[in-house]
Amino acid sequence: MYYLGINPGRHDSAAALVKDGTIIAMAEQERFSRRKRAVGEAPIDAVEFCLSYAGITLADVDAIGLGWNFGRMREHGQNIDLDTTERLFPANRFPGPLPPVQSIDHHVAHAASCFGPSGFPEAAVLVVDGGGELESTTLGYYDGSQFHTLEQIQLPFSLGNYYAAATKYTGMKARDAGKFMGLAAYGRPDQHMPLQVGRHGLYLDRLPEFSPSGRFDDLDAFRATVLQHFTESSFPFAVGDGRDMYPFIGFAASVQHSLEQALLYLAERVKRLTGSRNLCLAGGVALNCSANGILARSGLFGNLFVQPAAHDSGVALGAALEIARCNGANLMQTGPMTQGYWGPSYSQEVIEDALCRHGIAYERLSEAQLIERTAHAIMEDKIVGWFQGRGEFGPRALGARSLLGNPRKRHMLTRLNALKGREAWRPLAPSVTAEAFNDFFESPHASPFMIVAAHVHPGRRHEIPAVVHVDGSARPQAVTRAANPRYWTLLTRLGDLTGIPVVINTSFNLDDEPIVNTPDEAINDFLRTDMEMLVIGDAIAVK
């Protein structure tokens, strides 16, 4: 039986298709519309891709799950109409009757999205985001067959929106939480923050009107009040312009530290409530790699799982899995998710047709030739566009739609940031073979999804300076042969040639666009930047 899940929300709309609990396809709408985070868009193209990949139509789907329960929100006076069938499944794109549609509470969908792919027999679950229908944080437990909500923090108190307000204080956009996290490493947490952990849990110092145990209220007022508090109480006592970041490094470090302490408190709390050795994290705050690294190293849990689309795109997967579970599917039948490649792929014929249409000379090579040429190009400090197989689901490039560079040369960080139009101070992440992970990184969790920060061994930092952040950390991706054979082979060959099976891996896109989705989009970025090589399917193009 087929089950379709969608995130119809205000941003990060996405679709996921599962068959009897097994993931078939997942995609984010932004990859098709080419508008970052698909703000206000229904995931129509993402749904069509999932159905097309499976070779079915909507009539073959047994049930549809929505990763939001907008009915609950309307009951509390919020005018939300994002769940209308006319918006989500317009008749000109999806003719015929619709399968049954069921709304899933947002945090339940988040919980299912991380537990289902974890492979754990049972687990504590922590969902932390900007907010669901009425909740911003959920502590729960999956007993293997059902999710149990144990405790919740109600809106407007929200760790996600606290962090968003802090991001806006620097002059960045609220969506730039990842930039803010990178900025925090440059400073020291030496400023008093309103977010505190006390005897009775979390609270906002000097902002008592926003209590974690309060009732639903105006979320805009929460963000505005926190932002005003920063303006009055935090250096440099003025909202930034988004360009001069240096005055905000101490502020960013202090905010990041306060968030990490709050998450440690929540993790300790859910540990006491469940006694589980396994922790699943979901929600937008679970994309905070630095905080995830703190949790991984805390020793509170023996096992940690964060799936690659922990933010709102992931509730499409959660809604599909929850609908499947309600219809008798066993979510643990397929084992843990070890790779994030669930999007579109393209035949070599389609790839070469695109190259010809753009007038690009190329060579079609064997696997061994392709790996050898690419490895030597990276060693020679060339920037390589790497477009292979199915695209990633989630915001991290994992070796399918990636820009690759030499981690042994610090200036490659500057070059790649400049090519993408990113700020020069922002860090880039490494990919490493899983076999060599512990040789370079100190972490109990070798994340395959580049979502858990790790310390770089002090004795090896000088060997890979382009991927070592100012605090000695990195956001590594551990690559296995089973998950991505061609990418693993490239890393292994680099190890043979240099002794370092590591590569800079950043997403294949420019700063103003989503990750490339099609061969034409990859070729366009290749042509309008100083990227020296494009490795696309079995073809290599060189400027």
Give the tens place of pLDDT for each residue, 121-149.
Answer: 999 999 999 999 999 999 999 998 899 99
455 is catalytic: no
Mean pLDDT in residue range 308-329: 95
With cut-offs at 50, 70 and 90, classify the pLDDT of residue 192.
very high
Percent share of the chain, pLDDT over 90: 92
Higher pLDDT, 364 or 511: 364
Is residue 333 pLDDT above 60, yes or no?
A: no
- The number of folded domains in the chain is 3
**What was the pLDDT predicted at 216?**
53
Mean pLDDT in residue range 246-265: 98
Chain-centre distance of CA 490, in angstroms? Answer: 24
Is residue 93 pLDDT above 60, yes or no?
A: yes
Please identify, among 256, 272, 306, the residue that sits at the C-terminal boundary of a domain.
306
CA distances for 173 relative to 169, 242, 352, angstroms = 9, 8, 39
Question: Is the domain of 213 the same as that of 289?
Answer: yes
**What was the pLDDT predicted at 210?**
79
Q: Minimal CA–CA distance to 316: which of 10, 12, 45?
A: 12
What CA–CA distance (Å, rounded) separates 202 from 84? 37
Span 433-459, pLDDT tens digits: 999 999 999 999 999 999 999 999 999
Neighbour tally for 101: CB within 10 Å? 16
Among 10-14, 19-23, 428-432, the minimum mean pLDDT is found in 19-23
Mean pLDDT in residue range 267-290: 98
Kindly give, in sequence order, each residue whose CB lies less than 8 Å from that of residue 328, ignoring residues fewer than 6 positions away.
none
Question: Is the domain of 283 the same as that of 317?
Answer: no
Neighbour tally for 152: CB within 10 Å? 18
Is residue 3 pLDDT above 90, yes or no?
A: yes
Q: What is the CATH number of the domain that holds 36?
A: 3.30.420.40
Cβ–Cβ < 8 Å for 402, 493: no
Cβ–Cβ < 8 Å for 385, 532: no
Q: Tell whether 532 is covered by a domain.
A: yes
**What was the pLDDT predicted at 368?**
98
Question: Is the domain of 288 the same as that of 371?
Answer: no
Is residue 519 pLDDT above 80, yes or no?
A: yes
Question: Is the domain of 200 the same as that of 299?
Answer: yes
Please identify, among 295, 326, 357, the residue that sits at the C-terminal boundary of a domain.
326
Q: Tell whether 181 is covered by a domain.
A: yes
**What was the pLDDT predicted at 214?**
53
Q: Minimal CA–CA distance to 477: which of 506, 499, 498, 500?
A: 506
Question: Is the domain of 180 the same as that of 292?
Answer: yes
Mean pLDDT in residue range 74-78: 89
Tokens coding 356: 């010809």
Counts for the chain of helices (H) and strands (E), in that order:
17, 23
Is residue 217 pLDDT above 70, yes or no?
A: no
Residue span of the structural domain in which 294 resides: 159-306
> Which residue in 11, 229, 445, 469 is the catalytic one?
11
Tokens coding 34: 């080419």
Span 452-487, pLDDT tens digits: 999 999 999 999 999 999 999 999 999 999 999 999
Please identify, among 254, 278, 306, the residue that sits at the C-terminal boundary of a domain.
306
**What was the pLDDT predicted at 281?**
98
**What was the pLDDT predicted at 209?**
77
Cβ–Cβ < 8 Å for 309, 319: no
Tokens coding 31: 């990859």
Print burial letters for 11-25: b (CB count within 10 Å at least 16), e (below 16): bbbbbbbbbbbebbb
Q: What is the CATH number of the domain that holds 385?
A: 3.90.870.20
With cut-offs at 50, 70 and 90, classify the pLDDT of residue 21.
confident
Q: Tell whether 267 is covered by a domain.
A: yes
Question: Is the domain of 372 the same as that of 503?
Answer: yes
Q: Tell whether 148 is covered by a domain.
A: no
Mean pLDDT in residue range 252-273: 98
Mean pLDDT in residue range 35-48: 97
**What was the pLDDT predicted at 145?**
86
Residue 291, burial from CB neighbour count under 10 angstroms (0-12, 13-18, 19+)? buried
Q: DSSP code of 200?
A: T
Map tokens 């440099």 to a residue. Answer: 236
Kindly give, in sequence order, each residue whose CB lies less than 8 Å from that of residue 80, ignoring residues fewer than 6 positions away.
70, 73, 74
Pairing of strands 473-474, 454-456: antiparallel
Mean pLDDT of the chain: 96
Q: Tell whether 127 is covered by a domain.
A: no
Question: Is the domain of 466 the same as that of 424?
Answer: yes
Mean pLDDT in residue range 508-514: 94
Question: Is the domain of 224 the same as that of 87?
Answer: no
Q: Tell whether 146 is covered by a domain.
A: no
**What was the pLDDT predicted at 297?**
97
> How would you classify residue 65: left for phi > 0, otherwise alpha for psi between -120 and 50, otherwise beta?
beta
Question: Is the domain of 412 the same as that of 490?
Answer: yes
Q: Tell whether 20 is covered by a domain.
A: yes
Question: Is the domain of 173 the same as that of 60?
Answer: no
Is residue 51 pLDDT above 70, yes or no?
A: yes
Bridge partners, 197 (sequence order): 202
**What was the pLDDT predicted at 332?**
63
Map tokens 């409530």 to a residue. Answer: 273
Span 409-429, pLDDT tens digits: 999 999 999 999 999 999 999
Question: Is the domain of 72 the same as that of 213?
Answer: no
Q: Tell whether 123 is covered by a domain.
A: no
Span 365-421, pLDDT tens digits: 999 999 999 999 999 999 999 999 999 999 999 999 999 999 999 999 999 999 999
Kindly give, in sequence order, each residue whose CB lies less than 8 Å from that of residue 499, ignoring residues fewer than 6 positions away.
none
Question: Is the domain of 70 the same as that of 12?
Answer: yes
